[in-house]
Structure 1
């Protein structure tokens, strides 16, 4: 997914020339910052079963000389247009964080479309390319590269204190998407991304709610029952507003990885029997999409869209608060009605907080709260589900195992600088990327960042309750099945029971054929 300003698609001169020469620059920014692809991707040419192993470089565990290199050396960092557009500021931030002057980082600004980047990396790594040395990799598809043995094993290569910093101080959900089935780290989280629920304080004041309510909502998630009722009250109190709640439910990756993952998990449901099976083992984990918590999530959304008279409506949920158009909406199409002043509530990623909280939009009348919950964690069927669940997005730094040893040695110093708290706060100011350490969201400096700094309490709750998508080498196949059947059920083309029964069969077939 993309930031608003990354849609400009700029690349500065050197980076663009390098990228065109090396790979063929691909086009315009599309998609958005928190979430992966638009359903493409796939497992490329690599095999692998999602459980480690696979083809690719066999020397991924080779230790790296981590002493500071003294030679003049340039390494390439495959990043995106946001880094390319802010290259001088990012270079200065690395220098301020202690990157030695003899190491130059050349930014290779690739496509903002995450599927294109995934395919490009697959091509490079399958072909044994030595550069770029560092790859900025979507947390939504790092695990398949690990499973194919195509990334440097950082746990075996970096100093132990760098590994313990990541494991002890970074958002746990982010770290989990950078690990192999052996428990080793293959990526260093660069920034996480978490959705929240945005709302219009002015419209809710008209329905009788006050700043005391807004202060509470910032950190204390409300139930979906309360959310639906409050949204309807605000709709009724503001006759010129057409939409209560806007979100993303088109047939695309964002529904399966993110919106529905949140709905389902907040009710205590799971794709594969809980968090412990998120990343496999493929073919040896239960498929649990036909269970009651998952069905309740679909029933809830049907009620919100089609009303309480829907034959599969969920008791306790107030209906007719979401337009049927959500069934064709992705991030930007769902954001526009809210930004244009025609919705009460809106679920989206942090990039849109910066848009909607700007002074020429809603300013401080924009409220932000964690995603509502269906059941509390102690009521949930599976451990780690229930409560204010937020789908995990974000990106990692990974290392090309084919790079020459001397470049890997320099890359260690880059990764060390990126662990510096000052660098992480600089990136938050420069690009808007949330620091990977929860503790930094409590810092005075983070709170002073314009617009988004006002909403760090809600973002921290989201980060501490983040749920990754179940990424394995077969997830690209499974994701499309999920989004199609969930959309079918939400659109009333199938009953929740029939859609999830059909989905279970499809997911089981994919699991068995890959195991």
Structure 2
């Protein structure tokens, strides 16, 4: 997730881990800093592996080591977890300094799937296809969520990271109120089959009015990374739209892929959101969709600001990451009255022009384990990775920290379903994972992301028409692509 306010960082409630706020962008606070955590000038213990991660992993270091040993790691090998910044950008910069300086430690680095590719493109992390035992490489390629694996590979197809946990947003809703309004989400399998945006708007409007609720649908549309990587990406993709045509073009080649943001499916997705915010009688909206179900406040909301109204009982529907399911599904909030389903769709995949679009899209989040190529302890690191890839270890992380297992099959397991609160929704999360959409991370994504957020926000806010905003964005992205090809 991205864009969490500093006020809420580090908050714990009913098992809500600080991990849930780790991917915040733009906040100034940090957890225990990584800087200075690497040993210099003294011999390294050959049996201690230093793993740069986050404060949640550091807090659970004892349980992590126990789980590794139970998964087959030799008892004389110990993993020391270094607590990183809660700001993903700060963590990225710290890793860049270490790797550019060719430091031997940390031996392993936990990298955001949103920017791991920048290190892979520069070959600053170890090529696992060439170095990791082949049975492990094949397991990642065959059994893990494919969208996660894509963000851990080079353009030539070599693997450079092992997904440790993915993050997939879903649509949360007040199942109790939806049922009272006459709908049958369980019988109609909303949890795994999702519903169309049209039906979504009708359900939201009806429940909102019946219960005299302040809001219908809350989501995130501030000008920040979360809009370009996630909310807009999902809305656009669910209509069959794309940044660069087929998803085969997500990671390049820069300057040689079509820029498709001005096409009709993208325009329709923007008109839909404008309808939700400004009402169906406003200009540039979609006919046949219920309007006025989202407040103009969404234009300044990120994850936590959009979650609060839902948690407090003032909204029907809420789009967010798994951390918020743990909060909203707690017994003292909604308990089993919390419904979860995949993001709704505008068109089905067989109606979409581009490969990878249409249907219930979910923006991909998550983190990968990568290896410092300068580490003198590679073989020991590989032993740690082997243990990390065992089902028992991944399920223990799910239980202790709330990190989702990176394999669809594990989310089907009895033990996963027994995890308090979030275990009730593993089927919904598995479907979201199977429909995950990575952001198009390349060397130019930081430039492109900012332009996207600005133009999309202008269109959502009715400061520009959908057509003019996307025409401007197409020109901006084309210029960036051509300059850097």
**Shorter-chain TM-score: which interval?**
over 0.9
Aligned to 2:25: 37
Aligned to 2:10: 8
Distance change (3 Å), C-alpha of 1:363 and 1:321:
same
Within-5 A mapping of 1:50-449: 73-210=47-184, 212-213=186-187, 216-239=189-212, 241-404=213-376, 407-449=377-419
Whether the 8 Å CA contact 2:277–2:292 is kept in 1: the answer is yes
The 1-side partners of 2:185 and 2:346 are apart by: 25
Note the C-alpha offset of 1:6: 9.6
Whether the 8 Å CA contact 1:6–1:82 is kept in 2: the answer is no
Distance change (3 Å), C-alpha of 1:31 and 1:72:
closer
Quick check: 428-437 or 310-319, which moved more? 310-319
Q: Per-residue displacement from partner, 1:217-274 (whole Å, max 9, x unpaired)?
A: 11111000000011001011101x1100000000000000000000000000100112
Aligned to 1:460: 430
Distance change (3 Å), C-alpha of 1:39 and 1:267:
farther
State the TM-score, normalized to the length of structure 2.
Answer: 0.92
Whether the 8 Å CA contact 2:20–2:323 is kept in 1: the answer is no
Confirm whether residue 506 of structure 1 aligns to residue 476 of structure 2.
Answer: yes
The 1-side partners of 2:165 and 2:19 are apart by: 19
The 2-side partners of 1:419 and 1:72 are apart by: 22
Give ranges in structure 1 of 5+ residues lacking alignment: 11-28, 41-70
The 2-side partners of 1:9 and 1:105 are apart by: 26
Give ranges in structure 2 of 5+ residues lacking alignment: 13-17, 29-44
Q: Secondary structure at the match of 2:290?
A: coil
The 1-side partners of 2:190 and 2:425 are apart by: 11
Whether the 8 Å CA contact 2:222–2:302 is kept in 1: the answer is yes
The 2-side partners of 1:221 and 1:200 are apart by: 15
Note the C-alpha offset of 1:38: 4.2
Note the C-alpha offset of 1:99: 1.1
Q: Cα RMSD (Å) of the superposition? A: 2.0
Note the C-alpha offset of 1:31: 8.2
Whether the 8 Å CA contact 1:31–1:37 is kept in 2: the answer is no
Whether the 8 Å CA contact 1:219–1:458 is kept in 2: the answer is yes
> After TM superposition, where is structure 1 displaced by more than 4 Å over at least 4 residues in a row?
2-6
Note the C-alpha offset of 1:8: 3.0
The 2-side partners of 1:98 and 1:7 are apart by: 35
Aligned to 1:62: none
Note the C-alpha offset of 1:30: 9.8
State the TM-score, normalized to the length of structure 1.
Answer: 0.87
Note the C-alpha offset of 1:85: 1.4
The 2-side partners of 1:471 and 1:302 are apart by: 27
Q: Secondary structure at the match of 2:166?
A: strand
The 2-side partners of 1:167 and 1:461 are apart by: 19
Q: Secondary structure at the match of 1:236?
A: helix
The 2-side partners of 1:211 and 1:436 are apart by: 27
Whether the 8 Å CA contact 1:305–1:320 is kept in 2: the answer is yes
Whether the 8 Å CA contact 2:204–2:217 is kept in 1: the answer is yes
The 2-side partners of 1:469 and 1:106 are apart by: 31
Note the C-alpha offset of 1:140: 0.5
